[in-house]
Amino acid sequence: MAELTRRLGRLRPAPENFLSEADLKAAREGRRRFLRTSLLAAGAAAGAPLGAQAGEADPAIVNLPPWTTSPGSPVAARPYGSPSRHRSALQRRELPGLSPVGANSASYCPLQGLFGIITPSGLHYERHHHGWHDIDPSRHRLMINASRPGLIAEPRIYTVEDLMRLPPVSRIHFIECSGNTGTERAHATMPTVQYTHGLLSCSEFTGVPLRLLLEECGVDFRRARFALAEGADGASLTRTIPMALIESGEVLVAYGQNGESLRPENGFPLRLVVPGVQGVSWVKWLRRIEVGDAPYATREESLHYIDLMPDGQHRQYTSIQECKSVITTPSGGQTLLSRGFHNISGLAWSGRGRVTGVDVSVDGGRNWRSARLEAPVLAKALTRFNFDWVWDGQAAVLQSRAIDETGYVQPTPAELRAVRGTGSIYHNHAIQSWQVRPSGEVVNVQVV
Amino acid sequence: MAELTRRLGRLRPAPENFLSEADLKAAREGRRRFLRTSLLAAGAAAGAPLGAQAGEADPAIVNLPPWTTSPGSPVAARPYGSPSRHRSALQRRELPGLSPVGANSASYCPLQGLFGIITPSGLHYERHHHGWHDIDPSRHRLMINASRPGLIAEPRIYTVEDLMRLPPVSRIHFIECSGNTGTERAHATMPTVQYTHGLLSCSEFTGVPLRLLLEECGVDFRRARFALAEGADGASLTRTIPMALIESGEVLVAYGQNGESLRPENGFPLRLVVPGVQGVSWVKWLRRIEVGDAPYATREESLHYIDLMPDGQHRQYTSIQECKSVITTPSGGQTLLSRGFHNISGLAWSGRGRVTGVDVSVDGGRNWRSARLEAPVLAKALTRFNFDWVWDGQAAVLQSRAIDETGYVQPTPAELRAVRGTGSIYHNHAIQSWQVRPSGEVVNVQVV
């Protein structure tokens, strides 16, 4: 610690890329002014001890701002609060040109400005196939039925309230669109981590294990080997879920997210939670589960969400999101304003279980050192890592590499490409590289 | 599981008390209608298997709603999302009459409608002494100084950006106002859990250990045994923090909450996080830490936040929030509409560490059984528990009793009163009782 604090004297801030160009300019200029002021103030404080009462503070040191000299807003002024207006630039954003139809598109989570592992629900990424509605929960139903007689003893229909009265579980899990990082499969493309990796979020979900509902309906688990999940959106999105996942108890019919009801954009009032599996299978606005004895090969399993391999064959049902990580700061679009200490922070996750380690390289993968993992480290949840770095002002390439409890190591782009080629859009979990230029600018590069 | 699912057939919903009287009436009436409809529908489904395509659904079973037959809103329609309009009754609320001045009052978190352990930041409880402001972070500073020369080598002033560049940690912790449940110290008073226990929330906080900052300033830890934390609000709220807590590394200067910046009502841009300790010490809008060699006995430590004992003496600095729990559903103001299975759910926490168990009684404390604890169970964080219960329609008294890793067992009101009397407003952590009447109404009672 003592050595670290000595180095911290040389710390200079790097504005996040949710700041505007004007903010960036102000930060560059304001920094020099502040350093002069604060050094003077610190000197003055050392020579002139202050009393315990704030009112006695020396005006030469603290020029009291309006929030200290005037009464503030009352409690419950906002019965449901929102972020500071000073953080309004932190938004989920559509990628211009991604889709001609906003109702069939995606918005990206601003990972570069987030902390810890919980994604604020207001910034959760979106992927809609036919837009989102704020469904009236009193009119919504979940039906459980079967593709043919004999697979289920008693089909049932549940109201949302029925489900909320059943024994619930709460679990923290990541959700990642399998298209996340799909733009980067052949070469570096997107300027910021919001667009390279922002189809990723993590929440505490609350709901009922789907297994419990199927047991209640008397499903014959020896014969019903698959289930079809169907959404109430205009796309009536459908995905096949292997019964083995459901029988494990991990698959939830969720109504809660981060302590409250799901948000409309994330499937209110009900969505499927399929831990470790690509986001498209977490069917939103869930209205039906049909049990069957074969995969359904629906539109979203045949035309999309498939992996085109180098031999021209498609792989279907490759739904587990493999071990992956990314540095979120410093990252593309940010600028290091000076040499000295910079904390490298990022996220790691695996659809196979817990992350057991994250290595960080600052020289493009030649040397690696272990990052610190923040607790709690949970299975199929985001894990936050941090890493001390002193920038010497030279060009550097920052990378992170995650390892999960199965021993699987996140591959380089070259390793992934050797198996997959570059024709596949989905499931790109290769190592991401950010180049720090001598100017301090951070840009997306690909180191194969 | 099989036994449970058989009992689930008799489940009937209990509307949360964030529903209006009109909602409640609608739920009572709609219930009977829905049961007829769903039984018919379930029968029809069993006899008429459906295809995998939503468009083929039999209109006799599913009367397609507008959200299935029309395109929805585009992605990023709300760059920062908010809850469903159907959940707008779930609000933090001031207790009418609690204070003549809303800027010096409290708003209560609606625990009866929340899930899991993470409190949505928009519903986090509030306790302000002079109102809240949305502080401009570029104008905010944190000063670290000392009460007299020699305790610190180099006083310093930090900008918010300086702090955000230091090595951070992220941790999930509860925060509880020591006045929480203060209304219930002599007899049952408040109608709902929002008002009996709603000065309680739990978040993932991100920030810098205060120890690191004090090390950087060269604090002499052998002589500086206390620190004073001071807020930038009009009350300039001040609290003494024992240096032993700071040296443990647990005390954070936090800027992040649930993945994003602190909310203005919760101290944006900086607040102190003092895990396990009463909320008043988690100084909001933190602007100064002064190290000293004695407690400061400030206004908020001498006139308020003290425990009046039966012998007329005051206890000061009793700041640890002891092991406590509460059932959040069913709870006061809710109504059980029918006999049968009801999930009992609640929260447990301890300022001393991890919760190791929660017992639930449905007969006013004569018999106890263990509840299920939801993972993760974290030190000085809320722990969610659930408990299966089949209501036979008779009067019942529901209680929960938490045990923590020190072996401490949450006391009954009589046990607490034997030590404390009833003169003390603060630190009431006694067992809470909810009576279920044969009518299904749930009311606050005190079983000593």
- Could you read off the pLDDT of B309-366 as tens digits, one per residue? 999 988 888 889 999 999 999 999 888 988 888 999 999 999 999 999 999 999 999 9
Minimal Cα–Cα distance from A123 to chain B, Å? 6
Tokens standing for residue B411 = 């006391």
Please give the distance of CA B348 from its chain centroid, rounded to a whole number. 10
Predicted confidence (pLDDT) at residue B36 exceeds the cutoff of 50: no
Dihedral pair phi/psi, residue B443, rounded to 5°: -130, 155
A203 within 8 A of A257, measured Cβ to Cβ? yes
CA nearest B248: which of B227, B269, B278?
B227
Beta strands in A149-274 (DSSP E): 156-159, 169-176, 200-209, 226-231, 238-242, 252-257, 260-261, 271-273
How does strand B340-349 pair with strand B355-361?
Answer: unpaired
Q: Give the pLDDT of residue B316.
A: 86
Q: Give the pLDDT of residue B378.
A: 98
Cα angle A435, A320, A92 (rounded to 5 degrees) comes to 50
Residues in contact with B110: Cβ distance below 8 Å, sequence separation at least 6, in sequence order: B18, B90, B91, B92, B93, B123, B194, B198
- Ramachandran quadrant class, A252 (left: phi over 0; alpha: psi -120 to 50; beta: rest): beta
Determine which of A75-89, B110-124, B172-186, B329-343 has the lowest per-residue pLDDT on average: B329-343
Closest CB to B69 among A4, A42, A234: A234
Query: Which residues on adjacent β-strands are paired with residue B355?
Result: B404
Q: State the DSSP string of B316-361.
A: ----B--SEEEEEES-TT-B--SSEEEEEEEEEE-TTS-EEEEEEE
Interchain contact, B84 vs A268, CB within 8 Å: yes
Q: Give the pLDDT of residue B62.
A: 54
Closest CB to A11 among B11, B147, B166: B166
Q: Identify the three-state secondary structure at position B271.
A: strand
Instruction: Tally C-beta pairs within 8 A across A and B.
Output: 458
Question: Minimal Cα distance from B128: which residue of A?
Answer: A75
Q: Give the pLDDT of residue A62.
A: 54
Interchain contact, A121 vs B81, CB within 8 Å: yes
- Residue bearing tokens 């308020």: B304
Q: Name the amino acid, one letter, at A24.
A: L
CA nearest A127: which of A163, A80, A167, A179?
A179
Q: Give the pLDDT of residue A345.
A: 97
Q: Decide which of B115 and B340 is more confident.
A: B115
Query: Mind listing the pLDDT tens digit of every residue in chain A (448 residues)?
Result: 444 444 543 323 333 333 344 543 443 454 334 333 333 333 333 222 333 333 444 544 457 899 999 999 999 999 999 999 999 989 999 987 788 899 999 999 999 999 999 999 999 999 999 999 999 999 999 999 999 999 999 999 999 988 998 999 999 999 999 999 999 988 999 999 999 999 999 999 999 999 999 999 999 999 999 999 999 999 999 999 999 999 999 999 999 999 999 999 999 999 999 999 999 999 999 999 999 999 999 988 888 888 889 999 888 888 899 999 999 999 998 889 888 899 999 999 999 999 999 999 999 999 999 999 999 999 999 999 999 999 999 999 999 999 999 999 999 999 999 999 988 889 999 999 999 999 999 999 999 8
Q: For chain B, state the CA radius of gyration.
A: 25
Cα angle A37, B283, B189 (rounded to 5 degrees) comes to 160
Determine which of A43-57, A180-194, B206-220, B236-250 has the lowest per-residue pLDDT on average: A43-57
Q: Which residues of B touch A96 (CB under 8 A)?
A: none
Question: How are strands ordered across the β-sheet holding B126-128?
Answer: B93-94, B105-108, B126-128
Dihedral pair phi/psi, residue B291, rounded to 5°: -90, 145
Question: Minimal Cα distance from B15: which residue of A?
Answer: A161
A188 within 8 A of A444, measured Cβ to Cβ? yes
Q: Which residues of B touch A300 (CB under 8 A)?
A: none
Determine which of A61-70, B151-160, B188-197 has the lowest per-residue pLDDT on average: A61-70
Interface test with B, best of A8, A28, A67 (most B CBs within 10 A): A67
Q: Give the pLDDT of residue B269.
A: 98
Question: Minimal Cα distance from B115: which residue of A?
Answer: A259
Q: Which residues of B touch A159 (CB under 8 A)?
A: 13, 34, 38
Interchain contact, A117 vs B259, CB within 8 Å: yes
How does strand A383-391 pair with strand A396-404?
Answer: unpaired
Q: Give the pLDDT of residue A15.
A: 36
Interchain contact, B118 vs A123, CB within 8 Å: no
How many whole angstroms separate alpha carbon A412 and alpha carbon A431? 5
Closest CB to B81 among A42, A74, A265: A265
**What percentage of chain B reaches a pLDDT higher than 90?**
75
Question: Minimal Cα distance from B27: which residue of A?
Answer: A138
A364 within 8 A of A372, measured Cβ to Cβ? no
CA nearest A249: which of A442, A379, A408?
A379
Tokens standing for residue B129 = 């002494």
User: Which pTM does this prediction carry?
Assistant: 0.89
- CA B96 vs CA A75, B99, B107: distances in Å: 12, 8, 10
Closest CB to B263 among A61, A81, A136: A81
**pLDDT confidence bin for B368, thresholds 50/70/90:** very high
Q: Which residues of B touch A71 (CB under 8 A)?
A: 103, 130-131, 234
Interchain contact, B50 vs A290, CB within 8 Å: yes
Q: Name the amino acid, one letter, at A108.
A: Y
Interface test with B, best of A75, A108, A221, A239 (most B CBs within 10 A): A75
Q: Which residues of B touch A137 (CB under 8 A)?
A: 84, 86
Q: Which residues of A touch B84 (CB under 8 A)?
A: 134-135, 137, 261-264, 268-269
Q: Give the pLDDT of residue A302.
A: 87
Q: Give the pLDDT of residue B164.
A: 92
How many whole angstroms separate alpha carbon A327 and alpha carbon A335? 14
- Residue bearing tokens 């001598």: A438
Residues in contact with A87: Cβ distance below 8 Å, sequence separation at least 6, in sequence order: A113, B260, B261
Q: State the DSSP string of A80-145.
A: S----GGGTT---EE-TTS-S-TTSEEEE--GGG--SSPPPGGG--EEESS-B----GGG-EEEEE
Closest CB to B234 among A49, A70, A345: A70
Minimal Cα–Cα distance from A420 to chain B, Å? 30
A444 within 8 A of A434, measured Cβ to Cβ? yes
How many whole angstroms separate alpha carbon A91 and alpha carbon A101? 20
Secondary-structure breakdown of chain A: helix, strand, coil percentages, each rounded to the nearest 5: 20, 30, 50
Any idea how long chain B is? 448
Alpha-carbon dihedral angle through residues A51, A54, A58, A64, given to the nearest 10 degrees: 170
Interface test with A, best of B24, B67, B157, B173 (most A CBs within 10 A): B67
- What does the DSSP 8-state code read for residue A205? E
